[in-house]
Amino acid sequence: PADKARAEIARVNRNRIAHYEYYTGEKWGDPHRYDLMLNTGSLDLQTACDLVAEYYQKVCQHSKESL
């Protein structure tokens, strides 16, 4: 059963990637497609949350100012 589950997850992931790349014309996983990336392997949860909150506040503030 575990092997079947892994195979199904891999199949679904391949389909997701194909769907994304077909409809966007972009490469799946390209870091240039993300607004924010954090290496959570080197951050504790609180620091990661603080960074996301700070980024969100700056982006929202910038968006409001440009309206």
Query: Over 60: is that where the pLDDT of 67 sits?
Result: no
At residue 64, the pLDDT reads 67
Q: Count the residues in the chain.
A: 67
Q: Are 13 and 29 in contact (CB under 8 A)?
A: no
Q: Are 21 and 13 in contact (CB under 8 A)?
A: no
Q: Which domain holds residue 23?
A: 1-33
pLDDT, tens digit (0-9, with 9 covering 90-100), for 3-31: 999 999 999 999 999 999 999 999 999 99
Q: Are 57 and 50 in contact (CB under 8 A)?
A: no
Asked if 41 and 25 sit in the same domain, the reply is: no
Output the pTM of the full model: 0.59
Is residue 39 left, alpha or beta, with left meaning phi > 0 and alpha meaning psi from -120 to 50? beta
Asked if 28 and 50 sit in the same domain, the reply is: no
Confidence at 60, pLDDT banded by 50, 70, 90: confident
Q: In total, how many domains does the chain have?
A: 2
Confidence at 48, pLDDT banded by 50, 70, 90: very high
